[in-house]
Chains A and B, each alone.
Chain A
């Protein structure tokens, strides 16, 4: 029974990874950039949620919405200021810039408010354990899962049913052809960053609620793991990021449950290296032959 409980924990954790991974995968799919700063957008989202709850005494849902909106704006700003001038630069230059932006956000936050952690208020949502065939599942886990699924469904709707979603798919398929067809590529890329960052902001608030402790450097490890999740599912593929996140969360929980909790962080990177060696295109990816 304990295993099933761990499985449920893993799915909750995995859905947080999945939300962050979606932003990575969308951005990578469209501009081929590993947005290292994405983990820090997640951190910013968490803090925005925290401050709107503690200072403005808002409930959980308004805080979630505010955090998503602020993160969307923040993500677009980062893209416009740091990444847009580098659109034709080498991949390495863009990657180094992304690392720079990530560190800049982290240390500016520490500079502005100090490095001390904050405790998320834990009375936002009703907390009780639901008995389910003898398995105790906390209502929070279910709640997290529900919000994540809702956001993912919403994302699928945006990508497949709306005009901007169509533009995003077109740009990720072939940027130049999309531009020739009259699609405003710059705005589409900004929209991608906005949607991805909003999801990261939501993940930040959910993370804070679930783990109750947030700090300025909290984005690094979940960010990296979410990237692993995106690679695991096949980078650039939206359902891949969801599945990858869930799989990674479950793997981590199972590693913890088998008594190797100190190795939990290592497990994600072992998964990454294995997947990169044996199936670099990920679970859902197709092999693309390199053209000269």
Chain B
């Protein structure tokens, strides 16, 4: 914790982000950016939160989760119930979305994190499907036809949430707890033997990751006017997964860069959704065949500017993908 907040880089980054977001706010309220670009920018923000939250689970702790859209759905529906059914203010809804998803993460994490690798992947996939089917069958939230949601997501809220997510996850990674998580990724048995409570840290990372996915869900729900269970299927989980894999498992800046790039690409390919999926899947296959560690490996963007590259993701010089 201490390193980051005391560093010059931290405050510089905050100031840069503040200036940039003020500029964008100015452009949005001035009407310079048309609604297409505004939507794309909002979508990028939401995807950054999703990518970083999954990065914590997959990249840092090494737990393979392909049901992340389930947590997104929990957050989206919980927050939508808060604003639409209970008439509570938007900040409460964001928090409620995060907490609901975090609780869901805890409930699913405790039993399923006993599993490893492939089995965990399938269990999380099954969980995502169960969430979708459950929402499909509850009439209170509209069932298959979905739920109308007011447009409440504003640029300042979005920036605040993105910054909060990135800062919390970076700090977590650099803390003792984050080191413990990285050691689990590197070798779970060895970590266990060194006295790390592996179950505790795996569940903790899972809950934090799902909490932020829930926050992204709240922003998502209040940005798109309507939410339907079909929005949160396996393909959505796959979209989030590809951010993390393409960016490099273990590199937060990689995940963020991939989220930004792919969101822009997919916005422009919106009218050709089949082509988009073909390109995505080809990129994924070719990536795994020729560069399985992703764009950034486990390196961070900041480590490129340092002499002896002490990246945030741990083991920066070891570019090998070590997730079992």
Q: Is B111 an interface residue (CB 8 A)?
A: yes
What residues of chain A lie closer than 8 Å to B282, measured between beta carbons? 100, 104
Docked-complex contact A276 and B115, CB < 8 angstroms: yes
Nearest chain B CB to A24's CB is how many angstroms away? Answer: 11
Docked-complex contact A111 and B278, CB < 8 angstroms: yes
Nearest chain B CB to A248's CB is how many angstroms away? Answer: 13
Docked-complex contact A220 and B234, CB < 8 angstroms: yes
Contact with B along A242-286 (1 / 0, CB 8 A): 000000000000000000001101101110110011001000000
Contact with A along B295-323 (1 / 0, CB 8 A): 00000000000000000000000000101
Measured in the bound complex, the distance between the Cα atoms of B122 and A92 in whole Å is: 12
Contact with A along B113-126 (1 / 0, CB 8 A): 01101110111011
Q: Is B64 an interface residue (CB 8 A)?
A: yes
Nearest chain B CB to A110's CB is how many angstroms away? Answer: 5
Docked-complex contact B119 and A86, CB < 8 angstroms: no
Interface of B is mostly: helix
Docked-complex contact A265 and B129, CB < 8 angstroms: yes
Nearest chain A CB to B176's CB is how many angstroms away? Answer: 25
Q: What residue of chain A has the Cβ atom nearest to residue B321's Cβ?
A: A90
What residues of chain B lie closer than 8 Å to A263, measured between beta carbons? 133, 137
- The 8 Å CB contact of A92, one of B114, B278, B284, B324, is B324
Q: What residue of chain A has the Cβ atom nearest to residue B187's Cβ?
A: A292
Docked-complex contact B280 and A96, CB < 8 angstroms: no
Docked-complex contact B130 and A269, CB < 8 angstroms: yes
Q: What residue of chain B has the Cβ atom nearest to residue A260's Cβ?
A: B137
Known: A95-B64, A103-B280, A269-B127. 17 other contacts (CB 8 A): A89-B288, A92-B249, A92-B324, A96-B245, A97-B285, A97-B289, A100-B280, A100-B284, A100-B285, A107-B281, A111-B278, A224-B126, A224-B129, A268-B126, A277-B111, A280-B119, A292-B189
A-B contact list, 11 entries, CB within 8 Å: A85-B289, A92-B64, A97-B284, A102-B281, A103-B284, A111-B274, A224-B125, A272-B126, A277-B112, A277-B114, A280-B119
Chain B residues within CB distance 8 Å of chain A: 64, 66, 111-112, 114-115, 117-119, 121-123, 125-127, 129-130, 133-134, 136-137, 189, 234, 238, 241, 245, 249, 274-275, 277-278, 280-282, 284-285, 288-289, 292, 321, 323-324
